[in-house]
Structure 1
Amino acid sequence: MKLYFLVFFLLVGFGALASETIKIKASDGVEVTVDLHIAHPDTVPFIILFHQAGWSRGEYQEIAPILNQLGFNCMAVDQRSGNAVNDVQNQTFVSARKLMKETKYVNALPDMNAAIDHAKIYLAKGDLIIWGSSYSSALALKIAGDRTGDISGVLAFSPGEYFQSMGKPKDYITSSAIKIECPSFITSARSEKNSWWSIYEVIPTDTKSYYLPETSGNHGSRALWSKFTDSQGYWDAVISFLNQYL
């Protein structure tokens, strides 16, 4: 099924599939707000969606229903480093500020790990795939290397070594990516390749792949939004990668 028909069917002809918003607790007590997009039994592959800098789980309003239609259950997560997008306020950021917690990129790791733990215990009996956007895509690669027994696949939209200004070493992501065992996919705007190529090169598996558009493309998961004329190419690459789980 072509994406253009799929998007039309979902967002116009059928309507976006219903979601449920819940809160889970990070290890330091911060309430992590997530949207559950559950359309199938808990034995199907499960994708956890993490947003980019300054945004919220609203980044996936259009993307998650399409992933449901493709056969996946999903969870879109508010990390504490973010604000709002698509009229969706980042509630985890609000909770973190109330508890006077730091909200830099690197501080989002407890939220991401809490989402993974919750999904493994309560929601996903099959493959568990993590998907990040911008800074969270870098952290998703780190998690995939650090939690090899828990992660079945990772998709990273515009990753990079973004964390030196937060006191982390310049190879903070690369040192974990070298331990990745699961299938891995990286993509970005065309001009961003140099930000992640060295990370991609150290991933030791032969199940890794990447996509760069012929056009300038876009940063992060918004590259899949239908308002961008080159989103089809990104979707084709993502679907090709995800087909191995179905």
Structure 2
Amino acid sequence: MKFYFLIFSLAIGFCANAAETIKIKAADGVEVTVDLHIAHPDTVPFIVLFHQAGWSRGEYLEIAPILNQLGFNCMAVDQRSGKVVNNVENQTFASARQLMKETKYVNALPDMNAAITHAKTYLAKGALIIWGSSYSSALVLKIAGDRFDEVNGVLAFSPGEYFQSMGKPKDYITSSAKNIQCSSFITSARSEKNSWWSIYEAIPTDTKVYYLPETSGNHGSRALWSKFSDNRGYWDAVIAFLNQYL
């Protein structure tokens, strides 16, 4: 089924459907808070959504219900590196601080892996797709390469090699991207292409695609928010990519 224009028939002020909030334990004991946006049987494709720096699962309040409308189940995840957006507090950050854990970008990996494992084990009998924003978009590309036998698709909104200041090599993401086997999608603001182009080139598959807007665009998944007048181009590209899973 094709959905290229369904998004634009939805009301501009589309309200989030009621999500169930649950907690998952990361490997180091941090409680990872996630919102489940489940609208279909567990056989449909499942998308795990990760937010950008300084934010929370609230980044997806508008996006997740639209993905439900398009035929996907979703999970929006609080990573420990983040705080608040759209009046949604990052509860995983609070748990990490209580346990005196580091909350830099790279420290979010246990939270992301725990969420993906939970989705794969309990929620997703169909394709599993991972989606990241800003620093987490880089990490989903790493995970897609490291867990290539478990991930069926990856979307990265404004990725880059963001981790050298945290003691990681300059090709921390690129070295894992070389192992990606699933279909991949990368997008960003127009000016950000140089931040991720080498990562994109390293992905060895012929099922990778990217989108750059004609406008200046926006950083991260917020590029899809209805408040931005150029969001349609991003949505067209995302939906075209996601159609392969339906």
Length-normalised TM-score, structure 2: 0.97
> Quick check: 1:146 aligned with 2:146?
yes
> Quick check: 1:62 aligned with 2:62?
yes
Task: Tell me how far apart the structure 2 counterparts of residues 195 and 119 of structure 1 sit (CA, whole Å).
Answer: 30
Task: Tell me how far apart the structure 2 counterparts of residues 90 and 235 of structure 1 sit (CA, whole Å).
Answer: 26
Does structure 2 retain, via aligned residues, the 8 Å contact 1:7–1:66?
A: no
Q: Which residue of 1 aligns with 2:172?
A: 172
Cα RMSD (Å) of the superposition? 0.9
* Structure 1 residue 4 displacement after superposition: 2.5
Q: Which residue of 2 aligns with 1:5?
A: 9
Runs of 4+ in structure 1 off by over 2 angstroms are 1-4
3-state SS of paired residue (1:16): coil
Q: Which residue of 1 aligns with 2:225?
A: 225
Task: Tell me how far apart the structure 1 counterparts of residues 16 and 26 of structure 2 sit (CA, whole Å).
Answer: 29
3-state SS of paired residue (2:10): helix
Task: Tell me how far apart the structure 1 counterparts of residues 6 and 194 of structure 2 sit (CA, whole Å).
Answer: 31
Task: Tell me how far apart the structure 1 counterparts of residues 190 and 49 of structure 2 sit (CA, whole Å).
Answer: 22
Q: Which residue of 1 aligns with 2:19?
A: 19
What letter corresponds to residue 217 of structure 2 in structure 1? Answer: G
Unaligned runs of 5+ in 1: none
Task: Tell me how far apart the structure 1 counterparts of residues 116 and 42 of structure 2 sit (CA, whole Å).
Answer: 14
Identity over aligned residues, as a percent? 83
* Structure 1 residue 233 displacement after superposition: 0.2
Unaligned runs of 5+ in 2: none
3-state SS of paired residue (1:126): coil
Task: Tell me how far apart the structure 1 counterparts of residues 152 and 181 of structure 2 sit (CA, whole Å).
Answer: 9
Q: Which residue of 2 aligns with 1:98?
A: 98
Q: Which residue of 1 aligns with 2:72?
A: 72
> Quick check: 1:88 aligned with 2:92?
no
Task: Tell me how far apart the structure 1 counterparts of residues 147 and 11 of structure 2 sit (CA, whole Å).
Answer: 34
Does structure 2 retain, via aligned residues, the 8 Å contact 1:155–1:184?
A: yes
* Structure 1 residue 6 displacement after superposition: 1.9
* Structure 1 residue 18 displacement after superposition: 1.8
3-state SS of paired residue (2:204): coil
What letter corresponds to residue 205 of structure 2 in structure 1? Answer: T
